[in-house]
Amino acid sequence: MALPRITSRLFPKGSLRGIRNAFPSVTATIQPFSLFPARKQAGATRKTEPLVGLVKARRTIYQLGKKSPVPDSKIEELVNSAILNVPSAFNTQSTRLLALLHSVHEHLWDVVIHVFQNLVKPGAIPEQVWQTQTLPKLQGFKAGVGTILFYEDPAHIKPFSEKFAPYKDQFQPWADHSNAMHQYFLWTGLESLGFGANLQYYNPLIDAPVVKLWDIPGEWRLVAQLVFGSPEGPPGEKSQKPIEERVKIYGKQEEDTSTSTG
Ligand SMILES: Cc1cc2nc3c(=O)[nH]c(=O)nc-3n(C[C@H](O)[C@H](O)[C@H](O)COP(=O)(O)O)c2cc1C
């Protein structure tokens, strides 16, 4: 642990830039972390590879079953980790999570089915679409283990909008960004526990019955639903647009391999 401290004492933050500008040829090989690059890189790779592995493994899985790979306490730990560790703008902590498991999860999807059935009767959804598409899809969600519902509590956003007037219109989108980070963390986290999951948006159709059934404050805003269960089928094909169209990098430095021991 002492080594980074020695490095930063020798080369305080930003000082290398000035030295490099003054003596470009002499300092061409000095990099901020060039003293022990191989060790540094090995340590970094050790942490990054499992992370990228999980990010790659997270996919949309629609075929879900009830074979839970972990006890419910692990799901609870993961949900609590999201609430404690996912960041929010100005640390507003406005995201709220409702996790429904097993029979309670099934009850949710029975309610959703009921809400949609009421749209079929007056013809808002054609009977054939209901029977062949909507109902099988909803039953597929019900076949899973649980659903996490993501909410925003506006009571924790409004004071910030009032206090920081120049940003007042930004707090709502920032709250949605943070909410989406919770969604992504939990989607990937559930994958890490051995579940498959998919993300749904049945709000605002289901807002009212959910509020009533699970004692949700009426002012909370439902944002999304993450359905999960044992993965019983593969993810679909996924095309990728070229990276070059989507990423720009400027100022990238070539790796210094001269001090690397391999
Ligand atoms: C913001 C957002 C909204 C989405 N909405 C839905 C949705 O309403 N229904 C659904 O089945 N999938 C939804 N998805 C899943 C995407 O269709 C899916 O993530 C995308 O096609 C990439 O596939 P992958 O998840 O397997 O990587 C949503 C994903 C995101 C990020």
Number of domains in the chain: 1
Q: What is the mean pLDDT of residues 87-111?
A: 98
Q: What is the pLDDT of residues 27-57, one digit of tens each?
A: 333 344 444 466 667 777 889 999 999 999 9
| H-type alpha helices, 58-134 | 72-85, 103-120, 127-129
pLDDT of residue 226: 99
In a domain, 41, yes or no: no
Nearest CA to ligand 1 atom 18: 60
Q: Is the CB of 252 under 6 A from ligand 1?
A: no
Question: With bands split at pLDDT 50, 70 and 90, how would you rate the model's confidence at 259?
Answer: low
Q: How many C-alpha atoms does 119 have within 13 Å on its Cβ side? A: 16
Separation CA 157–CA 61 (nearest Å): 33
Amino acid identity at 21: N
Distance of alpha carbon 32 from its chain centroid, rounded?
Answer: 32
In a domain, 162, yes or no: yes
Q: Is the CB of 37 under 6 A from ligand 1?
A: no
pLDDT of residue 187: 99
Helix (H) or strand (E) holding 150: strand 146-152
Look up residue 238 and give its DSSP letter: -
pLDDT of residue 257: 74
Q: What radius of gyration, in Å, describes the C-alpha atoms of the chain?
A: 25
In a domain, 154, yes or no: yes
In a domain, 50, yes or no: no
In a domain, 254, yes or no: no
Question: With bands split at pLDDT 50, 70 and 90, how would you rate the model's confidence at 5?
Answer: very low
Domain hosting 102: range is 64-231
Q: Which of 59, 60, 239 for mutating ligand 1's site (highest number of atoms within 8 Å of CB)?
A: 60
In a domain, 227, yes or no: yes
In a domain, 257, yes or no: no
- Measured at the CA of 226, the angle between CA 184 and CA 141, to 5 degrees, comes to 145
Q: Is the CB of 200 under 6 A from ligand 1?
A: yes
In a domain, 159, yes or no: yes
Q: What is the pLDDT of residues 125-145, one digit of tens each?
A: 999 999 999 999 999 999 999
Q: What is the CATH number of the domain that holds 194?
A: 3.40.109.10
Q: What is the mean pLDDT of residues 213-237?
A: 97
Q: How many C-alpha atoms does 254 have within 13 Å on its Cβ side? A: 5
Q: Residues with Cβ < 8 Å from 50, sequence gap 6 or more? A: none
Q: What is the pLDDT of residues 152-179, one digit of tens each?
A: 999 999 999 999 999 999 999 999 999 9
Task: Look at phi and psi of residue 148 and say left if phi exceeds 0, alpha if psi is from -120 to 50, else beta.
Answer: beta
Can you tell me whether residue 229 is helix, strand or coil? strand
pTM for this prediction: 0.84
21 vs 54, higher pLDDT: 54
If we measure between CA atoms, which residue out of 177, 178, 242, 193 comes closest to residue 58?
193
